[in-house]
Structure 1
Amino acid sequence: MNVKPAAWVLAALLAGTSLAARAADLLDDVKARGSLRVGMEGTYPPFNYRDEKGELAGFDVDIAKAIAAKLGVKAEFTTTEWSGILAGLQSGKYDVIVNQVAATDKRRETFDFSAPYVISYPQLIVRANETRKLDTPADLKGKKIGVGQGSNYADLAKGIAGVEVRTYPGAPEYLQDLATGRIDAAINDSLLIPYLREKTKLPVKAGATIGKPEGNAIPFRKGNPKFKQAIDKALEDLKADGSYAKISTRWFERDVSKPPAAAR
Protein backbone atom coordinates (compact mmCIF):
# COMPACT_ATOMS: atom_id res chain seq x y z
CA MET A 1 0.00 0.00 0.00
CA ASN A 2 2.93 2.37 0.70
CA VAL A 3 4.78 1.67 -2.56
CA LYS A 4 2.55 3.67 -4.90
CA PRO A 5 2.51 6.89 -2.80
CA ALA A 6 6.31 6.69 -2.48
CA ALA A 7 6.56 6.33 -6.23
CA TRP A 8 4.33 9.37 -6.63
CA VAL A 9 6.54 11.38 -4.32
CA LEU A 10 9.66 10.35 -6.24
CA ALA A 11 8.04 11.18 -9.54
CA ALA A 12 6.98 14.59 -8.21
CA LEU A 13 10.49 15.33 -6.99
CA LEU A 14 11.98 14.32 -10.33
CA ALA A 15 9.43 16.43 -12.16
CA GLY A 16 10.23 19.40 -9.96
CA THR A 17 13.94 18.99 -10.65
CA SER A 18 13.27 18.78 -14.37
CA LEU A 19 11.13 21.91 -14.29
CA ALA A 20 13.81 23.77 -12.35
CA ALA A 21 16.42 22.75 -14.92
CA ARG A 22 14.21 23.92 -17.75
CA ALA A 23 13.57 27.19 -15.93
CA ALA A 24 17.29 28.01 -15.68
CA ASP A 25 18.10 31.04 -17.77
CA LEU A 26 21.33 32.69 -18.90
CA LEU A 27 20.31 35.83 -17.01
CA ASP A 28 20.51 33.89 -13.73
CA ASP A 29 24.05 32.72 -14.59
CA VAL A 30 25.16 36.24 -15.53
CA LYS A 31 23.76 37.71 -12.32
CA ALA A 32 25.32 34.99 -10.16
CA ARG A 33 28.69 35.35 -11.89
CA GLY A 34 28.62 39.14 -11.76
CA SER A 35 29.82 39.49 -15.33
CA LEU A 36 28.54 39.47 -18.89
CA ARG A 37 30.98 37.52 -21.05
CA VAL A 38 31.30 39.30 -24.39
CA GLY A 39 32.90 37.93 -27.55
CA MET A 40 34.32 40.27 -30.21
CA GLU A 41 37.13 40.44 -32.76
CA GLY A 42 39.17 43.21 -31.22
CA THR A 43 40.54 44.00 -34.70
CA TYR A 44 37.54 45.77 -36.24
CA PRO A 45 37.83 49.54 -35.74
CA PRO A 46 35.95 51.68 -34.98
CA PHE A 47 33.68 48.98 -33.54
CA ASN A 48 36.28 47.16 -31.48
CA TYR A 49 40.08 47.28 -31.50
CA ARG A 50 43.17 47.66 -29.30
CA ASP A 51 44.19 51.24 -28.62
CA GLU A 52 47.75 52.52 -28.20
CA LYS A 53 47.75 51.18 -24.63
CA GLY A 54 46.66 47.74 -25.78
CA GLU A 55 43.22 48.14 -24.24
CA LEU A 56 39.97 47.32 -26.00
CA ALA A 57 38.18 50.38 -27.35
CA GLY A 58 35.43 51.20 -29.83
CA PHE A 59 31.70 51.58 -30.25
CA ASP A 60 30.87 47.93 -29.49
CA VAL A 61 33.10 47.98 -26.42
CA ASP A 62 31.28 51.03 -25.05
CA ILE A 63 27.87 49.53 -25.85
CA ALA A 64 28.76 46.21 -24.21
CA LYS A 65 29.95 47.97 -21.05
CA ALA A 66 26.79 50.07 -20.94
CA ILE A 67 24.53 47.02 -21.34
CA ALA A 68 26.41 45.16 -18.62
CA ALA A 69 26.01 48.15 -16.31
CA LYS A 70 22.25 48.14 -16.92
CA LEU A 71 22.22 44.46 -15.92
CA GLY A 72 24.14 45.30 -12.76
CA VAL A 73 27.28 43.38 -13.78
CA LYS A 74 30.63 44.03 -15.45
CA ALA A 75 31.57 43.28 -19.06
CA GLU A 76 34.24 40.59 -19.48
CA PHE A 77 35.74 40.48 -22.99
CA THR A 78 37.14 37.64 -25.09
CA THR A 79 38.65 38.38 -28.50
CA THR A 80 38.73 35.93 -31.38
CA GLU A 81 38.88 35.91 -35.18
CA TRP A 82 35.58 36.44 -36.95
CA SER A 83 35.88 33.05 -38.68
CA GLY A 84 35.38 31.27 -35.36
CA ILE A 85 33.36 33.76 -33.35
CA LEU A 86 29.92 32.16 -33.81
CA ALA A 87 31.29 28.70 -33.02
CA GLY A 88 32.72 30.13 -29.80
CA LEU A 89 29.28 31.41 -28.81
CA GLN A 90 27.68 28.08 -29.58
CA SER A 91 30.23 26.25 -27.41
CA GLY A 92 29.67 28.61 -24.47
CA LYS A 93 32.96 30.52 -24.47
CA TYR A 94 30.99 33.74 -23.97
CA ASP A 95 27.39 34.77 -23.36
CA VAL A 96 26.94 37.20 -26.25
CA ILE A 97 28.71 38.61 -29.29
CA VAL A 98 28.77 42.38 -29.62
CA ASN A 99 30.47 42.71 -32.99
CA GLN A 100 28.03 43.95 -35.65
CA VAL A 101 26.44 40.56 -36.26
CA ALA A 102 23.68 40.64 -38.87
CA ALA A 103 20.60 38.81 -37.61
CA THR A 104 20.07 36.68 -40.72
CA ASP A 105 17.43 33.96 -41.01
CA LYS A 106 20.16 31.33 -41.21
CA ARG A 107 21.78 32.50 -37.96
CA ARG A 108 18.40 32.64 -36.24
CA GLU A 109 18.16 28.88 -36.75
CA THR A 110 21.01 28.50 -34.25
CA PHE A 111 20.87 31.62 -32.07
CA ASP A 112 18.41 34.06 -30.57
CA PHE A 113 19.04 37.78 -31.10
CA SER A 114 18.39 41.01 -29.30
CA ALA A 115 16.49 43.80 -30.99
CA PRO A 116 18.72 45.51 -33.62
CA TYR A 117 21.05 48.08 -32.09
CA VAL A 118 22.71 49.31 -35.32
CA ILE A 119 21.22 49.95 -38.75
CA SER A 120 23.67 50.17 -41.66
CA TYR A 121 24.18 48.73 -45.13
CA PRO A 122 26.80 46.74 -47.06
CA GLN A 123 29.22 48.84 -49.08
CA LEU A 124 32.08 48.23 -51.47
CA ILE A 125 35.57 49.34 -50.47
CA VAL A 126 37.94 50.07 -53.35
CA ARG A 127 41.44 51.46 -53.75
CA ALA A 128 41.78 55.22 -53.46
CA ASN A 129 43.08 55.48 -57.05
CA GLU A 130 40.37 53.21 -58.52
CA THR A 131 39.06 54.57 -61.83
CA ARG A 132 37.04 51.60 -63.08
CA LYS A 133 33.25 51.69 -62.84
CA LEU A 134 32.37 49.29 -60.02
CA ASP A 135 28.82 50.32 -59.23
CA THR A 136 26.61 47.37 -60.13
CA PRO A 137 26.78 43.56 -59.90
CA ALA A 138 27.46 43.49 -63.65
CA ASP A 139 30.50 45.75 -63.15
CA LEU A 140 31.92 43.25 -60.65
CA LYS A 141 31.86 40.27 -63.01
CA GLY A 142 35.34 38.77 -63.25
CA LYS A 143 36.58 40.78 -60.26
CA LYS A 144 38.15 39.47 -57.04
CA ILE A 145 36.15 40.46 -53.96
CA GLY A 146 37.49 40.14 -50.41
CA VAL A 147 35.17 39.35 -47.49
CA GLY A 148 35.34 38.00 -43.95
CA GLN A 149 35.00 34.23 -43.69
CA GLY A 150 31.53 33.24 -42.47
CA SER A 151 30.20 36.81 -42.68
CA ASN A 152 26.92 37.91 -44.25
CA TYR A 153 29.09 39.88 -46.68
CA ALA A 154 30.58 36.59 -47.86
CA ASP A 155 27.08 35.29 -48.56
CA LEU A 156 26.27 38.52 -50.39
CA ALA A 157 29.39 38.30 -52.56
CA LYS A 158 28.76 34.65 -53.43
CA GLY A 159 25.38 35.69 -54.78
CA ILE A 160 26.94 38.01 -57.38
CA ALA A 161 27.35 36.22 -60.71
CA GLY A 162 30.88 35.93 -62.09
CA VAL A 163 32.66 37.19 -58.98
CA GLU A 164 35.71 35.46 -57.52
CA VAL A 165 35.14 35.54 -53.77
CA ARG A 166 38.18 35.42 -51.51
CA THR A 167 37.58 34.90 -47.80
CA TYR A 168 39.82 36.12 -44.98
CA PRO A 169 39.91 35.76 -41.17
CA GLY A 170 38.93 39.41 -40.78
CA ALA A 171 38.96 42.95 -42.17
CA PRO A 172 42.69 43.75 -41.63
CA GLU A 173 43.77 40.91 -43.90
CA TYR A 174 41.55 41.65 -46.88
CA LEU A 175 42.01 45.41 -46.62
CA GLN A 176 45.75 44.89 -46.83
CA ASP A 177 45.30 42.73 -49.93
CA LEU A 178 43.01 45.39 -51.40
CA ALA A 179 45.58 48.12 -50.78
CA THR A 180 48.30 46.08 -52.49
CA GLY A 181 46.14 45.14 -55.48
CA ARG A 182 45.67 41.43 -54.80
CA ILE A 183 41.90 41.89 -54.91
CA ASP A 184 39.73 44.42 -56.74
CA ALA A 185 37.31 45.36 -53.96
CA ALA A 186 36.01 44.33 -50.56
CA ILE A 187 32.59 44.41 -48.93
CA ASN A 188 31.98 45.56 -45.39
CA ASP A 189 29.78 47.72 -43.18
CA SER A 190 29.17 51.25 -44.47
CA LEU A 191 30.04 52.60 -41.02
CA LEU A 192 33.59 51.30 -41.37
CA ILE A 193 34.48 53.46 -44.38
CA PRO A 194 34.70 56.91 -42.73
CA TYR A 195 37.01 55.49 -40.07
CA LEU A 196 39.31 53.99 -42.69
CA ARG A 197 39.44 57.28 -44.51
CA GLU A 198 40.06 59.44 -41.47
CA LYS A 199 42.03 57.27 -39.08
CA THR A 200 44.22 54.94 -41.15
CA LYS A 201 46.78 55.37 -43.90
CA LEU A 202 45.34 52.64 -46.11
CA PRO A 203 44.85 53.87 -49.70
CA VAL A 204 41.17 52.87 -49.86
CA LYS A 205 37.85 54.67 -50.24
CA ALA A 206 34.11 54.07 -50.18
CA GLY A 207 32.58 52.43 -53.22
CA ALA A 208 28.98 51.76 -54.21
CA THR A 209 26.41 50.55 -51.72
CA ILE A 210 25.25 46.97 -52.19
CA GLY A 211 22.04 45.50 -50.86
CA LYS A 212 19.60 47.01 -48.40
CA PRO A 213 19.94 48.45 -44.90
CA GLU A 214 20.25 45.69 -42.33
CA GLY A 215 19.94 45.42 -38.59
CA ASN A 216 22.91 44.24 -36.56
CA ALA A 217 22.01 42.66 -33.25
CA ILE A 218 23.42 40.74 -30.29
CA PRO A 219 23.26 36.93 -30.58
CA PHE A 220 23.13 34.45 -27.70
CA ARG A 221 22.22 30.81 -27.20
CA LYS A 222 18.58 29.83 -27.66
CA GLY A 223 16.24 29.12 -24.77
CA ASN A 224 16.93 32.16 -22.58
CA PRO A 225 13.78 34.32 -22.65
CA LYS A 226 14.56 36.25 -19.44
CA PHE A 227 18.00 37.10 -20.78
CA LYS A 228 16.59 38.35 -24.09
CA GLN A 229 14.06 40.50 -22.27
CA ALA A 230 16.81 41.97 -20.07
CA ILE A 231 19.12 42.72 -23.01
CA ASP A 232 16.33 44.36 -25.00
CA LYS A 233 15.29 46.44 -21.98
CA ALA A 234 18.90 47.50 -21.42
CA LEU A 235 19.11 48.72 -25.02
CA GLU A 236 15.78 50.54 -24.69
CA ASP A 237 16.93 52.21 -21.48
CA LEU A 238 20.23 53.28 -23.04
CA LYS A 239 18.33 54.97 -25.86
CA ALA A 240 15.81 56.54 -23.51
CA ASP A 241 18.38 58.07 -21.16
CA GLY A 242 20.58 59.39 -23.98
CA SER A 243 23.52 57.06 -23.31
CA TYR A 244 23.24 55.32 -26.67
CA ALA A 245 23.17 58.59 -28.63
CA LYS A 246 26.21 59.82 -26.69
CA ILE A 247 28.20 56.67 -27.47
CA SER A 248 27.07 56.61 -31.10
CA THR A 249 27.89 60.27 -31.70
CA ARG A 250 31.35 59.79 -30.22
CA TRP A 251 32.22 57.17 -32.83
CA PHE A 252 30.07 58.04 -35.85
CA GLU A 253 28.79 61.61 -35.38
CA ARG A 254 25.19 60.41 -35.65
CA ASP A 255 22.67 58.00 -34.13
CA VAL A 256 23.38 54.65 -35.83
CA SER A 257 20.28 53.03 -34.36
CA LYS A 258 18.43 54.72 -37.23
CA PRO A 259 18.85 54.07 -40.97
CA PRO A 260 21.55 56.22 -42.62
CA ALA A 261 20.22 59.12 -44.66
CA ALA A 262 21.63 57.64 -47.89
CA ALA A 263 19.56 54.50 -47.39
CA ARG A 264 16.21 56.01 -46.34
Structure 2
Amino acid sequence: MKKSVALTLLSLTAGLLLSACGNNEQPATEAASQPAAARKVVVGLDDNFPPMGFRDEQNKLVGFDIDLAREAATRLGVDVEFRPIEWSAKEAELNSGRIDVLWNGLTITEERKQHIGFTSPYMENHQAIVVAANSPINTKADLAGKVVGVQEGSSAVQAVEKEAEITAALKELKKFGDNVTALMDLSAGRLDAVVLDEVVGRYYIAKRADEYRVLEDHFGAEEYGVGTAKENTELLAKLEEALNAMKQDGSAARISEQWFGKNIVK
Protein backbone atom coordinates (compact mmCIF):
# COMPACT_ATOMS: atom_id res chain seq x y z
CA MET A 1 0.00 0.00 0.00
CA LYS A 2 2.81 2.41 0.91
CA LYS A 3 4.57 1.74 -2.41
CA SER A 4 1.32 2.33 -4.26
CA VAL A 5 0.68 5.57 -2.39
CA ALA A 6 4.24 6.72 -3.08
CA LEU A 7 3.82 6.05 -6.79
CA THR A 8 0.52 7.90 -6.80
CA LEU A 9 2.07 10.89 -5.05
CA LEU A 10 5.00 10.84 -7.49
CA SER A 11 2.59 10.75 -10.41
CA LEU A 12 0.57 13.70 -9.02
CA THR A 13 3.73 15.67 -8.36
CA ALA A 14 4.96 15.12 -11.93
CA GLY A 15 1.56 16.14 -13.27
CA LEU A 16 1.63 19.35 -11.26
CA LEU A 17 5.15 20.11 -12.47
CA LEU A 18 4.15 19.54 -16.08
CA SER A 19 1.08 21.71 -15.60
CA ALA A 20 3.22 24.46 -14.08
CA CYS A 21 5.63 24.26 -17.00
CA GLY A 22 2.74 24.51 -19.42
CA ASN A 23 1.41 27.63 -17.69
CA ASN A 24 4.83 29.25 -17.85
CA GLU A 25 5.24 28.48 -21.55
CA GLN A 26 1.98 30.14 -22.66
CA PRO A 27 2.82 33.69 -21.56
CA ALA A 28 6.30 33.27 -23.00
CA THR A 29 4.81 32.31 -26.36
CA GLU A 30 2.39 35.22 -26.25
CA ALA A 31 5.13 37.61 -25.22
CA ALA A 32 7.32 36.45 -28.09
CA SER A 33 4.49 37.04 -30.54
CA GLN A 34 3.86 40.63 -29.46
CA PRO A 35 7.07 42.17 -30.86
CA ALA A 36 6.50 40.34 -34.16
CA ALA A 37 3.07 41.97 -34.52
CA ALA A 38 4.51 45.35 -33.62
CA ARG A 39 7.19 45.04 -36.30
CA LYS A 40 4.66 45.72 -39.10
CA VAL A 41 2.47 48.73 -39.79
CA VAL A 42 -0.40 48.41 -42.28
CA VAL A 43 -1.05 51.55 -44.30
CA GLY A 44 -4.46 51.98 -45.91
CA LEU A 45 -4.63 53.97 -49.15
CA ASP A 46 -6.49 54.69 -52.36
CA ASP A 47 -4.19 53.17 -55.00
CA ASN A 48 -5.50 55.44 -57.77
CA PHE A 49 -4.44 58.86 -56.52
CA PRO A 50 -1.30 59.99 -58.34
CA PRO A 51 1.13 61.22 -57.28
CA MET A 52 0.37 60.37 -53.64
CA GLY A 53 -0.23 56.65 -54.18
CA PHE A 54 -0.92 54.79 -57.41
CA ARG A 55 0.17 51.85 -59.56
CA ASP A 56 2.84 52.24 -62.20
CA GLU A 57 3.10 50.42 -65.54
CA GLN A 58 4.33 47.30 -63.72
CA ASN A 59 1.35 47.47 -61.31
CA LYS A 60 3.72 48.39 -58.49
CA LEU A 61 2.50 50.77 -55.80
CA VAL A 62 4.44 54.02 -56.02
CA GLY A 63 3.94 57.62 -55.00
CA PHE A 64 4.99 60.50 -52.80
CA ASP A 65 3.12 59.25 -49.72
CA ILE A 66 4.37 55.72 -50.40
CA ASP A 67 7.97 56.95 -50.27
CA LEU A 68 7.34 59.03 -47.15
CA ALA A 69 5.73 56.08 -45.37
CA ARG A 70 8.59 53.75 -46.30
CA GLU A 71 11.14 56.24 -44.97
CA ALA A 72 9.18 56.63 -41.72
CA ALA A 73 8.88 52.85 -41.31
CA THR A 74 12.64 52.47 -41.76
CA ARG A 75 13.24 55.01 -39.02
CA LEU A 76 10.78 53.23 -36.72
CA GLY A 77 12.41 49.86 -37.44
CA VAL A 78 9.19 48.27 -38.70
CA ASP A 79 8.00 46.66 -41.92
CA VAL A 80 5.25 48.43 -43.83
CA GLU A 81 2.40 46.85 -45.76
CA PHE A 82 0.33 48.97 -48.17
CA ARG A 83 -3.28 47.85 -48.32
CA PRO A 84 -5.63 49.40 -50.90
CA ILE A 85 -9.01 50.16 -49.35
CA GLU A 86 -12.34 51.64 -50.34
CA TRP A 87 -11.52 55.26 -49.52
CA SER A 88 -15.11 56.06 -48.56
CA ALA A 89 -14.79 53.42 -45.80
CA LYS A 90 -11.42 54.63 -44.53
CA GLU A 91 -12.55 55.45 -40.98
CA ALA A 92 -14.24 52.05 -40.58
CA GLU A 93 -11.10 50.30 -41.86
CA LEU A 94 -8.96 52.24 -39.42
CA ASN A 95 -11.12 51.88 -36.35
CA SER A 96 -11.76 48.16 -36.98
CA GLY A 97 -8.01 47.51 -36.77
CA ARG A 98 -7.74 46.15 -40.33
CA ILE A 99 -5.25 48.93 -41.01
CA ASP A 100 -3.04 50.91 -38.64
CA VAL A 101 -2.54 54.11 -40.60
CA LEU A 102 -4.18 56.28 -43.25
CA TRP A 103 -1.48 57.91 -45.36
CA ASN A 104 -2.71 59.06 -48.75
CA GLY A 105 -3.37 62.77 -49.13
CA LEU A 106 -5.68 62.70 -46.11
CA THR A 107 -7.12 66.17 -45.50
CA ILE A 108 -7.30 67.26 -41.87
CA THR A 109 -10.81 68.47 -41.01
CA GLU A 110 -12.53 69.22 -37.71
CA GLU A 111 -15.12 66.54 -38.47
CA ARG A 112 -12.46 63.87 -39.09
CA LYS A 113 -10.66 64.86 -35.91
CA GLN A 114 -13.62 63.47 -33.98
CA HIS A 115 -12.80 59.95 -35.21
CA ILE A 116 -9.14 60.00 -36.33
CA GLY A 117 -5.90 60.90 -34.58
CA PHE A 118 -3.81 63.16 -36.83
CA THR A 119 -0.13 64.01 -36.95
CA SER A 120 0.82 67.62 -37.47
CA PRO A 121 0.33 68.62 -41.13
CA TYR A 122 3.15 67.55 -43.42
CA MET A 123 1.81 69.25 -46.53
CA GLU A 124 -0.39 72.17 -47.45
CA ASN A 125 -2.34 71.56 -50.62
CA HIS A 126 -3.87 74.37 -52.64
CA GLN A 127 -6.45 74.50 -55.36
CA ALA A 128 -3.81 75.70 -57.79
CA ILE A 129 -4.20 77.63 -61.01
CA VAL A 130 -2.18 76.12 -63.87
CA VAL A 131 -1.61 78.06 -67.08
CA ALA A 132 0.52 77.61 -70.18
CA ALA A 133 4.16 78.55 -69.67
CA ASN A 134 3.87 81.57 -72.00
CA SER A 135 0.44 82.71 -70.75
CA PRO A 136 -0.08 86.40 -69.83
CA ILE A 137 -2.25 85.29 -66.87
CA ASN A 138 -0.53 85.95 -63.53
CA THR A 139 -3.35 86.41 -60.99
CA LYS A 140 -6.90 85.26 -60.33
CA ALA A 141 -8.14 88.66 -61.54
CA ASP A 142 -6.57 87.93 -64.93
CA LEU A 143 -9.00 85.03 -65.39
CA ALA A 144 -11.81 87.47 -66.23
CA GLY A 145 -13.19 86.64 -69.66
CA LYS A 146 -11.22 83.37 -69.82
CA VAL A 147 -12.19 79.70 -70.15
CA VAL A 148 -11.13 77.75 -67.06
CA GLY A 149 -11.16 73.96 -66.75
CA VAL A 150 -11.88 71.89 -63.63
CA GLN A 151 -12.48 68.22 -62.91
CA GLU A 152 -16.18 67.55 -62.45
CA GLY A 153 -17.04 66.52 -58.89
CA SER A 154 -13.68 67.69 -57.52
CA SER A 155 -13.12 70.16 -54.70
CA ALA A 156 -11.78 72.56 -57.35
CA VAL A 157 -15.35 73.16 -58.54
CA GLN A 158 -16.52 74.29 -55.10
CA ALA A 159 -13.33 76.27 -54.54
CA VAL A 160 -13.81 78.34 -57.71
CA GLU A 161 -17.57 78.76 -57.32
CA LYS A 162 -17.08 79.90 -53.73
CA GLU A 163 -15.49 83.06 -55.10
CA ALA A 164 -18.63 84.31 -56.79
CA GLU A 165 -17.09 87.48 -58.20
CA ILE A 166 -14.32 85.57 -59.97
CA THR A 167 -16.77 82.93 -61.24
CA ALA A 168 -19.14 85.56 -62.64
CA ALA A 169 -16.28 87.17 -64.55
CA LEU A 170 -15.23 83.95 -66.31
CA LYS A 171 -16.20 83.33 -69.89
CA GLU A 172 -16.80 79.69 -69.00
CA LEU A 173 -16.08 77.21 -66.22
CA LYS A 174 -15.65 74.03 -68.24
CA LYS A 175 -15.87 70.67 -66.48
CA PHE A 176 -13.90 67.56 -67.45
CA GLY A 177 -13.99 63.92 -66.44
CA ASP A 178 -10.38 64.06 -65.27
CA ASN A 179 -7.52 66.51 -64.84
CA VAL A 180 -5.36 64.94 -67.53
CA THR A 181 -7.91 65.74 -70.23
CA ALA A 182 -8.21 69.30 -68.92
CA LEU A 183 -4.43 69.77 -69.06
CA MET A 184 -4.38 68.40 -72.61
CA ASP A 185 -6.97 71.03 -73.59
CA LEU A 186 -4.80 73.66 -71.92
CA SER A 187 -1.82 72.55 -74.01
CA ALA A 188 -3.97 72.66 -77.15
CA GLY A 189 -5.10 76.22 -76.43
CA ARG A 190 -8.75 75.32 -75.83
CA LEU A 191 -8.47 76.46 -72.20
CA ASP A 192 -6.80 79.46 -70.62
CA ALA A 193 -6.26 77.84 -67.22
CA VAL A 194 -6.98 74.73 -65.15
CA VAL A 195 -7.76 74.69 -61.42
CA LEU A 196 -6.78 71.47 -59.64
CA ASP A 197 -5.05 70.07 -56.55
CA GLU A 198 -1.55 71.51 -56.40
CA VAL A 199 -0.09 68.08 -55.59
CA VAL A 200 -1.58 66.73 -58.82
CA GLY A 201 -0.67 69.81 -60.85
CA ARG A 202 2.96 69.87 -59.75
CA TYR A 203 3.30 66.18 -60.50
CA TYR A 204 2.36 66.71 -64.13
CA ILE A 205 4.27 69.99 -64.37
CA ALA A 206 7.44 68.27 -63.16
CA LYS A 207 7.12 66.02 -66.23
CA ARG A 208 6.45 68.94 -68.61
CA ALA A 209 8.08 71.99 -67.07
CA ASP A 210 8.34 73.70 -70.45
CA GLU A 211 4.55 73.56 -71.00
CA TYR A 212 2.96 74.69 -67.74
CA ARG A 213 3.44 76.93 -64.72
CA VAL A 214 1.57 77.37 -61.43
CA LEU A 215 0.41 80.83 -60.32
CA GLU A 216 1.13 82.18 -56.85
CA ASP A 217 -2.60 82.89 -56.52
CA HIS A 218 -4.83 79.93 -55.67
CA PHE A 219 -8.40 79.08 -54.68
CA GLY A 220 -7.92 78.01 -51.08
CA ALA A 221 -5.74 75.73 -49.00
CA GLU A 222 -6.08 72.47 -47.07
CA GLU A 223 -3.65 70.47 -44.97
CA TYR A 224 -2.66 66.82 -45.23
CA GLY A 225 -1.83 64.68 -42.20
CA VAL A 226 -1.22 61.03 -41.32
CA GLY A 227 -4.13 59.39 -39.51
CA THR A 228 -4.33 56.67 -36.86
CA ALA A 229 -7.09 55.34 -34.64
CA LYS A 230 -7.64 57.89 -31.88
CA GLU A 231 -6.69 55.43 -29.15
CA ASN A 232 -3.42 54.46 -30.87
CA THR A 233 -1.53 57.35 -29.30
CA GLU A 234 1.78 55.48 -29.12
CA LEU A 235 1.96 54.90 -32.88
CA LEU A 236 0.79 58.45 -33.53
CA ALA A 237 3.58 59.86 -31.37
CA LYS A 238 6.19 57.71 -33.14
CA LEU A 239 4.96 58.82 -36.58
CA GLU A 240 5.03 62.44 -35.48
CA GLU A 241 8.62 62.03 -34.30
CA ALA A 242 9.67 60.33 -37.55
CA LEU A 243 8.03 63.00 -39.71
CA ASN A 244 9.66 65.82 -37.75
CA ALA A 245 13.08 64.18 -38.15
CA MET A 246 12.50 63.73 -41.90
CA LYS A 247 11.63 67.41 -42.25
CA GLN A 248 14.65 68.53 -40.24
CA ASP A 249 17.27 66.43 -42.01
CA GLY A 250 15.98 67.16 -45.51
CA SER A 251 14.71 63.66 -46.34
CA ALA A 252 11.12 64.85 -46.80
CA ALA A 253 12.29 67.72 -49.02
CA ARG A 254 14.32 65.31 -51.17
CA ILE A 255 11.31 63.03 -51.69
CA SER A 256 9.11 66.04 -52.49
CA GLU A 257 11.55 67.32 -55.10
CA GLN A 258 11.62 63.89 -56.76
CA TRP A 259 7.85 63.91 -57.21
CA PHE A 260 6.99 67.59 -57.62
CA GLY A 261 10.21 69.27 -58.72
CA LYS A 262 9.93 71.48 -55.64
CA ASN A 263 9.84 71.12 -51.86
CA ILE A 264 6.19 71.53 -50.88
CA VAL A 265 6.47 69.77 -47.51
CA LYS A 266 5.17 71.90 -44.66
Q: Name the TM tier (shorter chain).
A: 0.5 to 0.7
Contact 2:73 2:80 in 1 (8 A): yes
**Structure 1 residues 243 and 179, CA gap change in structure 2 (3 angstroms):** closer
Residue 246 of structure 1 pairs with residue 254 of structure 2: yes
Pairing of 1:9-24 with structure 2 (within 5 A): none
The number of residues matched between the two structures is 223
Residue 233 of structure 1 pairs with residue 241 of structure 2: yes
Contact 1:127 1:178 in 2 (8 A): no
Give the aligned partner of residue 174 of structure 1. 178
Q: Whole-Å Cα distance in 2 between the matches of residues 154 and 109 of structure 1?
A: 26
**Structure 1 residues 99 and 87, CA gap change in structure 2 (3 angstroms):** same
Q: Whole-Å Cα distance in 1 between the matches of residues 253 and 261 of structure 2?
A: 9
Deviation at 1:117, TM superposition (A): 1.2
Give the aligned partner of residue 102 of structure 1. 107
Pairing of 1:37-48 with structure 2 (within 5 A): 37-48=42-53
Give the aligned partner of residue 117 of structure 2. 112
Contact 1:135 1:208 in 2 (8 A): no
| Superimposed CA distance per residue, residues 66-88 of structure 1 (whole angstroms, 9 cap, x where no aligned partner) | 11122221111112454444453
Give the aligned partner of residue 192 of structure 1. 200
Deviation at 1:233, TM superposition (A): 0.5
Deviation larger for 115-124 or 62-71: 115-124
Contact 1:147 1:187 in 2 (8 A): no
The code of the aligned residue for 1:251 comes to W
Contact 1:31 1:73 in 2 (8 A): no
Deviation at 1:155, TM superposition (A): 5.9
Q: Whole-Å Cα distance in 1 between the matches of residues 130 and 90 of structure 2?
A: 23
Q: Whole-Å Cα distance in 1 between the matches of residues 250 and 124 of structure 2?
A: 18
**Structure 1 residues 70 and 148, CA gap change in structure 2 (3 angstroms):** farther
The code of the aligned residue for 2:55 comes to R
Instruction: In structure 1, list runs of 5 or more residues that go unmatched.
Output: 1-28, 259-264
Contact 1:121 1:211 in 2 (8 A): yes
Give the aligned partner of residue 21 of structure 2. none
Alpha-carbon RMSD: 4.3
**Structure 1 residues 157 and 113, CA gap change in structure 2 (3 angstroms):** farther
**Structure 1 residues 132 and 214, CA gap change in structure 2 (3 angstroms):** closer
Give the aligned partner of residue 49 of structure 1. 54
Q: Going by fraction, where is helix more abundant, 1 or 2?
A: 2
Give the aligned partner of residue 22 of structure 2. none
**Structure 1 residues 255 and 131, CA gap change in structure 2 (3 angstroms):** closer
- TM value normalised by structure 1: 0.63
- TM value normalised by structure 2: 0.62
% same residue? 27
The structure having more radius of gyration, on CA atoms, is: 2
| Superimposed CA distance per residue, residues 224-253 of structure 1 (whole angstroms, 9 cap, x where no aligned partner) | 222221110111222233322322222223
Give the aligned partner of residue 255 of structure 1. 263
The code of the aligned residue for 2:75 comes to K
